[in-house]
Amino acid sequence: MRINPLKQRHEPIINGWLAIPSSYSAEIAGHQGYDAVTVDLQHGLIDFAAALTMLQALSSTPTTPLVRVSHNEPAQIMRMLDAGAYGIICPMINDAAEAQQFVDACRYAPQGSRSFGPARALLYGGKDYPQHANQQILTLAMIETHAGLANLDAILDVDGLDGVFIGPNDLSLTLTGQASAESQHPEMLNAIERVLSRTRACHKLAGIFCTSGEAAAQRIAQGFQLVTPANDVMQLTHAARHAVATARGEVMPVRSGSGY
């Protein structure tokens, strides 16, 4: 089976994030040097048919294809793995039982309950995909709720969970009442530091969504091992605004807290 380089990478993982339903955008992103690129089925405007073509496009590039599913639903997770995703990011994980259900959905028996029918995963991963998929598929649980934060240690204890990925907008929304990816609210700063230190103490992968390359560099310096330097919508918006402002000789408009 094609090895998943994210499973043994010791350098920080730079992860692109696609919300635009386009195989062309996916292909462009895949050629920009990202270690991984995530197709976002939660807040991206992407259905299964578009996701499939995006995973095919990513396969023609050096990056590793991941999917963020819309929710913790075994059938959707199974379909995205069958379509060739090499890892799943699952939103809104609140406790160990939910984390266990998520991991089970990503693993064939006897470790889990993923149904057999690897489809396109055989083409991308190789003929021996079924024998090695349980070891190669990356599983990241999103911590972005009060409950997820409170149950963090139990979530991290779940065998087969490779790490966690902080959704700072949702976490900030539940902790402070305001969605903000780079919040400086003391509760958010404490929460993020706690997730980072507990995750690293468990020798698992600590990831976080960021609004820019600069913010992502700061997260790496803080100790995060997987960062997303904004999604395609934010990058396109920022680049377009910058071009328009520059052409008009104006000062660049300031970005909002959520990154959008």
Judged by the rule CB under 6 A, the positions of this chain that interact with ligand 3PY are 91, 144, 167-170, 181, 209
User: From CA 63, how far away is CA 154, in angstroms rounded?
Assistant: 32
Instruction: Give the pair of three-digit tokens for residue 246.
Output: 């520059």
Does 27 sit near Mg ion (CB under 5 A)?
Answer: no
Q: 43 catalytic, yes or no? A: yes
Does 167 sit near Mg ion (CB under 5 A)?
Answer: yes
**Between 80 and 208, CB nearer to Mg ion:** 208
Site for Mg ion in 129-148 (CB under 5 A): 144
Task: Given the residues 10, 31, 43, 146, select the one marked as catalytic.
Answer: 43
Which region, judged by CB under 5 A, interacts with Mg ion, from 65-73, 168-176, 183-191, 220-228? 168-176
User: From CA 251, how far away is CA 254, in angstroms rounded?
Assistant: 9
Q: Let me know the angle formed at the C-alpha of 103 by 19 and 196, rounded to the nearest 5 degrees.
A: 70
Instruction: Give the pair of three-digit tokens for residue 209.
Output: 């969504």
User: From CA 86, how far away is CA 138, in angstroms rounded?
Assistant: 6
CB of 209 to ligand 3PY, least distance (A): 4
55 binds, among Mg ion, ligand 3PY, none (CB under 5 to 8 A by kind): none
- The closest residue (CB) to Mg ion is 167
User: From CA 217, how far away is CA 12, in angstroms rounded?
Assistant: 10
Please report the sign of the dihedral spanned by the C-alpha atoms of residue 90, residue 224, residue 23, residue 120. negative
Site residues (vs Mg ion, CB under 5 A): 144, 167, 170
List residues with catalytic annotation.
43
